[in-house]
Amino acid sequence: MKKALAVVAVVATLALAAVAAASNPARGEGHRADSRLAFAIKDGSGVSNIYSVRPSGDGLVRLTNSTAADLCPDYSSDGRLITFCSNRSGAFQIWAMNADGSNEHMVTSGAGRFIFPDYSPDASKIVFSGVASTTDATQNVFVINADGSGLTQLTNVGNNIYATYSPDGKKIAFISDRTGVEQVWVMNADGSNQAQLSHSGVTEDQLPDWSPDGKRIAYQQGDRGSGRIWVMNADGTNPVQLTSGPGDDFGTAWSPDGRQIAFVRDFANGDRSVWTMNADGSGQHRLVPIPLTEYVASWARTPDHGHGKH
Beta carbons of 212 and 167 less than 8 angstroms apart: yes
Q: How far is it, in rounded angstroms, from Cα 47 to Cα 66? A: 8
Q: Which helix (H) or strand (E) holds 16?
A: helix 2-21
Fold observed for domain 2-299? Neuraminidase (2.120.10)
Q: Is the dihedral of CA 38, 40, 41, 47 positive or negative?
A: positive
Q: How far is it, in rounded angstroms, from Cα 91 to Cα 79? A: 27
Angle at 63 between CA 17 and CA 77, to 5 degrees: 140
Cβ contacts of 10 within 8 Å, gap of 6 or more: 44
Q: Which helix (H) or strand (E) holds 15?
A: helix 2-21
DSSP state, residue 225: T
For residue 20, what pLDDT is reported?
Answer: 58
For residue 260, what pLDDT is reported?
Answer: 97
Give φ, ψ of 215 to 5 degrees. -90, -20
Q: How far is it, in rounded angstroms, from Cα 243 to Cα 84? A: 27
Cβ contacts of 6 within 8 Å, gap of 6 or more: none
For residue 141, what pLDDT is reported?
Answer: 98
Beta-bridge partners for 145: 125
For residue 289, what pLDDT is reported?
Answer: 81
Chunked mean pLDDT (size 10), the chain, 310 residues: 42 53 41 72 92 94 96 94 96 97 96 96 97 94 98 97 98 97 98 97 92 97 91 98 94 96 93 96 92 90 43
pTM of the full structure: 0.89
Beta carbons of 119 and 77 less than 8 angstroms apart: yes
The domain limits of the chain are 2-299
